[in-house]
Amino acid sequence: MRKIIFIIFVLILSIAALWFWWSFYYTYSDGNRTGLLQKMSHKGNVFKTYEGELVLNSLLINGTSQVSSEKFYFSVGEKRIGEKLMQFEGLKVILHYQEKKGILFWRGDSKYIVDSVYEVRGLNGEIINSK
């Protein structure tokens, strides 16, 4: 009887571990977002995380006025990238992100985790590798 209870316990524990990994660590999708880095902050009571807001490229009227804009909220996993993004505030950037299924409080407020950044400069849109 003890052997059956032990096997059931191990099975339940394995399923719970697999569910936790799939919900919080599995990369559901990844991609790039381009836009104006509007806001970066380093916040938190116990676990300090970098949080950002990117205004995505919008439609323009007469080449000057924006018709619509959408914001992309994200968290940053690495301190080095967070500090680099703090320097890029107000500039056009390309962010590479990974989307997770769930949010963990020590990882940030968003399910979108940025793992690299590129600054876009000039009229030709030259990309400066900044990782």
Please report whether residue 7 resides in a domain: no
Q: Is residue 2 part of a domain?
A: no
CA-closest candidate to residue 110, choices 70, 61, 54, 68: 54
Query: Which of 117, 41, 15 has the alpha carbon at shortest distance from 127?
Result: 117
pLDDT of the residue at 123: 54
Would you say residue 118 lies in a domain?
A: yes
Q: Specify whether the CB–CB gap between 33 and 120 falls below 8 A.
A: no
Q: Which domain holds residue 120?
A: 28-129
Using only C-alpha atoms, what is the Rg of the chain? 20
* Count of domains observed in the chain: 1
Q: pLDDT at position 66, please? A: 58
The predicted-structure confidence for 115-128, as pLDDT tens digits, reads as follows: 999 888 765 555 66
- For the stretch 63-103, pLDDT in tens is 555 566 789 999 998 899 999 999 998 888 999 999 988 88
| pLDDT exceeds 90 at position 9 | yes
Give the residue from 38, 31, 70 showing the smallest Cα distance to 53. Answer: 38
Q: What's the CATH code of the domain at 64?
A: 2.40.50.140
- Indicate whether 117 belongs to any domain: yes
CB contact at 8 A, 33 and 97: yes
pLDDT digits (tens, 9 = 90+) for 10-52: 999 999 999 999 888 888 899 999 888 999 999 888 889 999 9
